[in-house]
Amino acid sequence: MAESTTPQFRRAVVALSGGRTDRPIVALAAEMAKPGKAELIGVHVVEIDWTQPLDADVAGRSESAQRVLDIAEATAESARYRLECVLLQAREVGAAIVDEAVEREADLIILGLPFQRRFGGDFTIGRTIPYILKNAPCAVWVVREAMPEEHV
């Protein structure tokens, strides 16, 4: 019997940034989850500045944070899949995503990486993705956005 070429996982945390990579990674996650009927958890983290108490209700009052979750849910629905959405507040986005993956016993974290260049032209990946790659106890998929035509 031939092995399936579709990667199998049972539970994935899909990190939602509110950026242009959210829709593509949710659509990809939904398609990859279907064969094994895996559970998908979309996680959006609102970073709380050190000057505010961590329990300040910043995320709950944020329309933009709710919009991120609504768009992710709608994207999953259009792919005919269910995405459970979670809104978190934390000091560090990467740590919150890793903690959520550990708590949920996820075997996969899926992240989007927009194609960005810093002033000076160097490609940059920020600090969240390296943190997750270093500390995640499970597999991590980083899906980089296509390079814009002007950089090709």
Give which of 133, 3, 141, 19 is closest to 71, Cα–Cα: 19
Is residue 132 scored above 60 in pLDDT?
Answer: yes
Instruction: Provide the pLDDT for residue 1.
Output: 45
The CA distance from 88 to 132, in Å, is 16
Spatial strand order of the sheet with 108-113 comes to 84-90, 39-47, 11-16, 108-113, 139-144
Walk me through the domains of the chain, giving residue ranges and CATH numbers.
Answer: 15-115 (3.40.50.620)
- Range with the lowest mean pLDDT among 3-7, 65-69, 87-91, 98-102? 3-7
pLDDT-derived band of residue 24, with 50, 70 and 90 as boundaries? very high
Average pLDDT value for residue range 48-70: 76
* Confidence (pLDDT) at 3: 56
Average pLDDT for the chain? 87
Region 78-94: mean pLDDT is 94
Lowest mean pLDDT among 2-11, 102-111, 114-123: 114-123
- Average pLDDT over every residue of 24-48: 95
- pLDDT band at residue 118 using 50, 70 and 90 as cut-offs: low
User: CB of 69 within 8 A of CB of 42?
Assistant: yes
pLDDT surpassing 80 at residue 51: no
Q: What is the structure's pLDDT at 54?
A: 64
Read off the tokens for 148.
């814009």
Nearest CA among 72, 96, 95 for reference residue 16: 72
